[in-house]
Amino acid sequence: MIHGVFGKLGSGKGLHVMEIIKDELIKGFRDIVTSVPLRAVPWVNGQGIPQIGLRAYLVSLGLEADWVDIALLRIKVVEDVDQMGDMFLIRRDGETGEWFKLESNHKDEKGKPDRFDPAEIQKRKCAPCLVITDEAWICYPNNGGWSRSPLIPFYARQQRKLRDEWYIVTQHPTDVDSVIWNIAQDFTVCRNHGMERMGIFRQPSMFRTITYLTNPAKGNAIRSHESCKRLDVKGLAQCYDTTAGVGFAGGFAGDANQRRSGLHFGWLVVGLGLLVVGLALVPHLIGKGAGAWIRSTTTPPKSATAWAGLKNGAASPPAGAVSSQVAPAQPVVENAGIQLSPSSVLVHDEPEIVCTGICLAGGEMSVFLSDGRCASSEFGEVGKVTTTSVRAFGQTFARVHVPIVHDVAEIAPAVAAMPALRPVATLPVAPVALVEPVQRSERPAMILPSIHGISPGRGEPLHGLASMRQNLNGF
- CATH number of domain containing 228: 3.40.50.300
Q: Supply the pLDDT for residue 252.
A: 66
Q: Supply the pLDDT for residue 256.
A: 61
Q: Between residues 233 and 252, which one has the greater pLDDT?
A: 233
Does 240 map to a domain?
yes
pLDDT above 90: percentage of residues in the chain:
25
Mean pLDDT for the stretch of residues 193-220: 84
Query: Among 144, 146, 30, 151, which Cα is nearest to 86's?
Result: 151
Q: Supply the pLDDT for residue 89.
A: 92
Same-domain pairing of 251 and 120 = yes
Same-domain pairing of 234 and 132 = yes
Any idea which of 130-144, 188-202, 252-266, 324-338 has the lowest mean pLDDT? 324-338
Mean pLDDT for the stretch of residues 433-443: 45
Assign 301 a pLDDT band (cuts: 50, 70, 90).
Answer: low
Same-domain pairing of 241 and 166 = yes
Rounded CA-CA distance 277/81 in Å is 59
- Mind spelling out the 3-state secondary structure of 80-142? CHHHHCCHHHEEECCCCCCEEECCEEEECCCCCEEEECCHHHHHCCCCCEEEEECCCCCCCEC
CB 226 within 8 A of CB 248: no
Asked whether residue 288 carries a pLDDT value surpassing 60, the answer given is: yes
**Model confidence, pTM:** 0.57
Q: Residue 88: which region, alpha, beta or left (left: phi > 0; alpha: psi -120 to 50)?
A: alpha
Asked whether residue 224 carries a pLDDT value surpassing 70, the answer given is: yes
Does 292 map to a domain?
no
Does 166 map to a domain?
yes
Same-domain pairing of 261 and 307 = no
Helix axes 13-27, 53-60, angle to 10 degrees: 60
Does 121 map to a domain?
yes
Q: Supply the pLDDT for residue 321.
A: 43
CB 36 within 8 A of CB 14: yes
Same-domain pairing of 199 and 337 = no
Q: Supply the pLDDT for residue 200.
A: 74
Mean pLDDT for the stretch of residues 176-183: 88
Same-domain pairing of 342 and 445 = yes
Range among 43-57, 135-149, 232-246 rated most confident: 43-57
Any idea which of 103-107, 143-147, 215-219, 300-304 has the lowest mean pLDDT? 300-304
Q: Supply the pLDDT for residue 414.
A: 57
Rounded CA-CA distance 40/53 in Å is 5
Assign 117 a pLDDT band (cuts: 50, 70, 90).
Answer: confident
Q: Supply the pLDDT for residue 28.
A: 93
For 230-337, list the strands marked E by DSSP: 334-335
Q: Supply the pLDDT for residue 302.
A: 57
Assign 203 a pLDDT band (cuts: 50, 70, 90).
Answer: confident
Domain range enclosing 415: 303-421+430-452
* Dmax (CA) of the chain: 162
Q: Supply the pLDDT for residue 333.
A: 39
Does 287 map to a domain?
no
- For all residues of the chain together, what is the average pLDDT? 76
Asked whether residue 468 carries a pLDDT value surpassing 70, the answer given is: no
Rounded CA-CA distance 166/32 in Å is 10
CB 404 within 8 A of CB 358: yes
Q: Supply the pLDDT for residue 90.
A: 93
Q: Between residues 320 and 102, which one has the greater pLDDT?
A: 102
Asked whether residue 472 carries a pLDDT value surpassing 60, the answer given is: no
List for the chain the helix, strand, coil content (%; round to 5).
Answer: 30, 20, 50
Mean pLDDT for the stretch of residues 312-330: 44
Rounded CA-CA distance 339/337 in Å is 6
Q: Supply the pLDDT for residue 2.
A: 92
Query: Among 403, 406, 350, which Cα is nearest to 373's?
Result: 350
Q: Supply the pLDDT for residue 280.
A: 85
Same-domain pairing of 72 and 153 = yes
CB 55 within 8 A of CB 67: no
The count of domains in the chain is: 2
3, HSE (Cβ side, Cα atoms, 13 Å): 18
Same-domain pairing of 14 and 145 = yes
Q: State the pairing for strand pair 223-229/207-212.
A: antiparallel
Same-domain pairing of 250 and 134 = yes
Same-domain pairing of 256 and 308 = no
**Intra-chain end-to-end CA distance of the chain, in Å:** 136
Q: Supply the pLDDT for residue 447.
A: 44
Q: Supply the pLDDT for residue 361.
A: 77
Give the sign of the dihedral formed by CA 449, CA 391, CA 337, CA 327.
Answer: positive
Same-domain pairing of 193 and 98 = yes
Same-domain pairing of 259 and 321 = no
Residues in the chain: 475
Does 247 map to a domain?
yes
Q: State the pairing for strand pair 50-51/43-44.
A: antiparallel
Mean pLDDT for the stretch of residues 422-440: 46
Assign 348 a pLDDT band (cuts: 50, 70, 90).
Answer: very low
Does 474 map to a domain?
no
Assign 281 a pLDDT band (cuts: 50, 70, 90).
Answer: confident
Does 175 map to a domain?
yes
